[in-house]
A and B are shown apart, each in its own frame.
Chain A
Amino acid sequence: MITKLVSKARSIDTRHAFMLLALVAFVAMAAGSAPAP
């Protein structure tokens, strides 16, 4: 079961993780640059 999950996780393209991080960074950037209310 665990090995199955691990192999499934390994088969996922790392670019998905990269994109997720990138979009989070973009959101952080936009939120950080918003002027204080």
Chain B
Amino acid sequence: VRRRPAIDPALLGELRALSPARWLAACAFDWLLIVATFVIVGAIDHPLVYALAIFPIGSRQQGLGALFHDAAHRLVTRDRRLNDATGSLFAAWPLGLTLGGYRRYHLVHHRKLGSPGDPEMGHKRALPHWDLPLAPRQALHFASDLVGGGIPHLAAAGRMTRPVRAGEVIGLSIFWIGVALAFWQLHLLWVPLLWVVSIATTFWSGVRLRIFTEHLGTRDTHRITMHPWLEAIVMPHAIGLHWEHHHFPEVPFHRLRALRAALPSPRVIPLHELLRDLAKTRQLPSGDIADVTRDTDGSEGSSVATLDAPAELPLWTRLAAHVALPLAIGVGTYLFLRPDPPVAAALRAALHLGPLASAPVGSFLDVLPDAAWAYAVTATPLLVWWRGPRGARLGWTAAAVALAVGWELGQRVGVTPGGFSTEDLVGSATAAALALIVLYPRPRLEASRSATAEAPSEAA
């Protein structure tokens, strides 16, 4: 049982007071920045600006995520129905989440923190990106997030937080169908599209970062601080005050700082110090639980709890994420964002979409479809041969990489159709390399499974 830090009950009473106005003000602030971003992006209408917009949008989605999290703890208002209606409409549904589904997952995380029953550990084990000590390779995951590498994580999170009531499914569906229809009518379909792309890229990237800073290498919660600007951008609305939140989940986000001030120990450590510390721990596979960082009273965890690993994502889901989605992004870019291919112009005319602003040659959007294609080509054999003989996997992957990169090179010498550009070549090669980095290593999950499977036969 987790020991709760001692606090003056009268003070705690004050800190527990909810303020719907504070929640709504924070929410309005986030939405104002989001609307401003879309207005600016639409006004400039340059491909690069569309691409860069995912950063401010993703940051404000983090803000909404923090507010959604408060709503899940029923910290908007004491009126439960009003709490859920407000939280759903302004924070949960826009992020594709439901309060009930998230509660079922998150409240178990609170109760079972640091134990094998913590559902967060299941995620870390199924998609093992949180090995300790930290390695440079883990930084690459943030880059892969920007081209949709986080989709499998979002899919897993979506399953863990799937709605619990039919009413929630209906609400979420009506919300998104309404949004899509409204923006379609306004000829602004790029707005929800960019929104969803931001969720799948920068928003998830922020969640990934928080997973490193919250409970990694400890059975408890790290008590961290960081530069105010960094905090405002990546961990807004005090979502980084996770230690305070876990010990006093009844305190709303806007009073967590006051709560921190009231609790002098344990020491608050700067984010960079935690990351340095995480880079020096003993080995701890992603999803295993032990106290291995210095802020855990210096006590080295002895027993490493292990979990029954949840089933790996099915092949079709992974193909959807790593192959179909990049292809859809590429096709979407051709159809909606790049004016030059005649097929795209004809399709746009047929769909009454009208011509779009011209994209400068050599821009990001010229490279994106080629890069997305190269990623899909390389990812296909890696996933199809995820299990099975190493030779077949290597052979098909080599063929795929040869196609992904060779197609553009072939254009250089006139063997393959299309115009050669160095940017396309670099983009395709980078995407193929990214797919290799992300998908080549088969997780140790299988190794440990086969090891345990072999153990009894050795004994016998």
Q: Is the CB of B399 within 8 A of A35?
A: no
Q: Is the CB of A36 within 8 A of B342?
A: yes
Minimum Cβ distance to chain A for residue B419 (Å): 7
Q: Is the CB of B417 within 8 A of A23?
A: no
Spot the interface stretch: B213-221, B268-276, B377-385.
Answer: B377-385
Q: Is the CB of B392 within 8 A of A30?
A: no
- Once the chains are docked, how many angstroms separate the CA of A18 from the CA of B388? 15
Which 9 residue pairs across A and B have the least CB separation, nearest first? A34-B418, A34-B417, A26-B377, A19-B396, A22-B380, A15-B384, A30-B407, A35-B341, A31-B417
Q: Is the CB of B380 within 8 A of A29?
A: no
Minimum Cβ distance to chain A for residue B178 (Å): 33
Q: Is the CB of B373 within 8 A of A19?
A: no
Does A33 sit at the interface, judged by CB under 8 A? yes
- Neighbour of B340 across the interface among A19, A22, A32, A35, CB < 8 A: A35
* Nearest-CB residue, chain A, relative to B341: A35
Q: Which secondary structure characterizes the binding site on chain A? A: helix
Q: Which residues of B contact A32 (CB under 8 A)?
A: 343
- Once the chains are docked, how many angstroms separate the CA of A14 from the CA of B388? 12
* Nearest-CB residue, chain A, relative to B419: A35
* Nearest-CB residue, chain A, relative to B377: A26
- Once the chains are docked, how many angstroms separate the CA of A30 from the CA of B341? 12
Known: A26-B376, A34-B416. 19 other contacts (CB 8 A): A13-B392, A15-B392, A18-B384, A19-B380, A19-B381, A19-B396, A23-B380, A23-B400, A27-B403, A27-B407, A30-B373, A30-B407, A31-B417, A32-B343, A33-B334, A33-B369, A34-B417, A35-B419, A37-B417
Map CB proximity to A onto B385-402 as digits: 1 under 8 Å, 0 otherwise: 100100010001001100
Q: Is the CB of B342 within 8 A of A23?
A: no
Q: Which secondary structure characterizes the binding site on chain B? A: helix
Q: Is the CB of B384 within 8 A of A19?
A: yes
Minimum Cβ distance to chain B for residue A12 (Å): 11
Q: Which residues of B contact A13 (CB under 8 A)?
A: 388, 392
- Once the chains are docked, how many angstroms separate the CA of A34 from the CA of B342? 9
Q: Which residues of B contact A30 (CB under 8 A)?
A: 373, 407, 416, 418
How many B residues, CB 8 Å from partner?
25
Give 24 A-B contacts (CB < 8 Å), ordered by A residue: A13-B388, A15-B384, A15-B385, A15-B388, A15-B392, A23-B377, A23-B380, A26-B373, A26-B377, A27-B403, A29-B373, A30-B416, A30-B418, A31-B416, A31-B417, A32-B343, A33-B369, A33-B418, A34-B417, A35-B340, A35-B342, A35-B418, A35-B419, A37-B417
Q: Is the CB of A23 within 8 A of B419?
A: no
Q: Is the CB of B384 within 8 A of A26?
A: no
Does A8 sit at the interface, judged by CB under 8 A? no
Q: Is the CB of B392 within 8 A of A16?
A: yes
Minimum Cβ distance to chain B for residue A35 (Å): 6
- Once the chains are docked, how many angstroms separate the CA of A24 from the CA of B417? 15
Q: Which residues of A contact B377 (CB under 8 A)?
A: 23, 26
Minimum Cβ distance to chain B for residue A4 (Å): 23
Map CB proximity to A onto B404-448 as digits: 1 under 8 Å, 0 otherwise: 000100000000111100000000000000000000000000000
Q: Which residues of B contact A34 (CB under 8 A)?
A: 416-419
Q: Which residues of A contact B384 (CB under 8 A)?
A: 15, 18-19, 22
With A15-B388, A15-B392, A29-B373: A23-B341 Cβ-Cβ less than 8 Å = no
Q: Which residues of B contact A27 (CB under 8 A)?
A: 403, 407
- Once the chains are docked, how many angstroms separate the CA of A29 from the CA of B403? 12
